[in-house]
């Protein structure tokens, strides 16, 4: 079983706080001023609408300390990419009509990403940070920023608990992105193979990487690698971590690339 959380940090106003959110999970990571990951905490299987969730988060002193920068990465199932920006059209996009809709231009291409946070998620962020400045980006924005300039075709898979995100890039810009809930390795495989077929990914020659809550000895990795072949766990020497005995940087990929979007 993967060990997600650890704590090697103290309080320092020069540190960077990174949050990531799915529909039922909130994680946070603390980085020092050299970019070294010092702490990670997971809140799993939560309801953002529940009073006990709000109290649990409000009682955590880490989330109320002063930080040099605060970033939030939203890993949402419902994202829509369009070639134009229109604030009004966001009101009629399926599954976004009851959410606080955000629109952001993706780096390196003329694509606008539409996504939404629920009122409860927005309320918790406002409660945590009060009047503090914080930046929110969707995961696909962070992915596009991280992989910008990469010209060869790329398939990247990122796994959170119960959520798989699939990102495909060609000629240096986004080709496909979607996120899916999953229960089994075969669920993920189905979505990945469908995305590869739709976007003409060559499973033999194109680059294929994976990140998140995954290890090479896991069932999910073995199933995916059996069909995809040469699936690399993403490594990046710039992803620094204080505790390496049980915690690998690729677990925290969403935090590393999310914090890199800070202005």
The CATH H-level superfamily of 6-259 is: Protein of unknown function DUF3822, N-terminal domain (3.30.420.250)
- Strand 100-105 and strand 112-117: the pairing is antiparallel
Contact present, 234 and 209 (Cβ < 8 Å): yes
Which residue shows structure tokens 């608990």? 161
Domain ranges within the chain, ordered by starting residue: 6-259
Does 6 have pLDDT greater than 90? no
pLDDT (tens digit, 9 = 90+) per residue, 205-233? 999 999 999 999 999 999 999 999 889 99
Q: What is the DSSP annotation of 128-176?
A: HHTT---EEEEHHHHHHHHTTT--S-EEEEEEETTEEEEEEEETTEEEE
Distance CA 183, CA 159 (A): 12
Please tell me the predicted confidence (pLDDT) of residue 1. Answer: 47
Average confidence (pLDDT) over 14-25 = 94
Task: Report pLDDT for 8.
Answer: 67
CA dihedral sign, ordered 204, 163, 147, 220: negative
Pairing of strands 232-233, 6-7: unpaired
Please calculate the CA angle 125-131-135 and round it to the nearest 5 degrees: 55
Tens digit of each residue's pLDDT (9 = 90 or more) over 120-143: 999 999 988 886 789 999 999 999
3-class SS at 34?
coil
| DSSP for residue 263 | -
* pTM confidence score: 0.93
| Those residues with Cβ within 8 angstroms of residue 193's Cβ, 6 or more apart along the chain or in another chain | 227
Q: Give the confidence band of 243 by pLDDT, cuts at 50, 70, 90.
A: confident
**Rg of the chain taking only CA atoms, in angstroms:** 18
First to last CA, the chain: 36
pLDDT over threshold 60, residue 254: yes
CA distance 237 to 250: 11
């Amino acid at each position: 079983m993967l060990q997600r959380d650890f704590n090697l940090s103290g309080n320092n106003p020069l540190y960077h706080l990174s949050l990531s959110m799915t529909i039922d999970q909130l994680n946070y990571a603390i980085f020092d001023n050299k970019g070294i990951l010092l702490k990670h905490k997971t809140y799993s299987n939560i309801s953002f609408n529940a009073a006990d969730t709000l109290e649990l988060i409000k009682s955590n002193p880490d989330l109320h300390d002063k930080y040099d920068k605060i970033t939030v990465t939203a890993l949402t199932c419902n994202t829509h990419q369009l070639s134009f920006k229109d604030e009004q059209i966001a009101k009629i996009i399926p599954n976004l009509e009851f959410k606080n809709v955000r629109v952001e231009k993706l780096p390196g291409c003329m694509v606008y990403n539409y996504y939404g946070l629920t009122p409860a998620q927005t309320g918790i962020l406002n409660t945590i940070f009060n009047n503090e400045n914080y930046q929110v980006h969707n995961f696909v924005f962070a992915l596009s920023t991280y992989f910008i300039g990469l010209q060869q075709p790329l398939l990247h898979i990122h796994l959170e608990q119960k959520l798989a995100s699939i990102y495909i890039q060609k000629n240096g810009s986004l080709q496909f992105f979607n996120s899916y809930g999953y229960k089994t390795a075969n669920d993920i495989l189905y979505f990945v193979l469908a995305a590869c077929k739709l976007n003409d990914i060559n499973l033999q020659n194109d680059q294929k990487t994976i990140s998140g809550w995954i290890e090479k000895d896991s069932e999910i990795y073995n199933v995916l690698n059996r069909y995809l072949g040469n699936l690399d766990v993403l490594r990046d020497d710039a992803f620094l971590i204080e505790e390496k005995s049980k915690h690998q940087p690729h677990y925290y990929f969403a935090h590393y690339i999310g914090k890199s979007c800070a202005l």
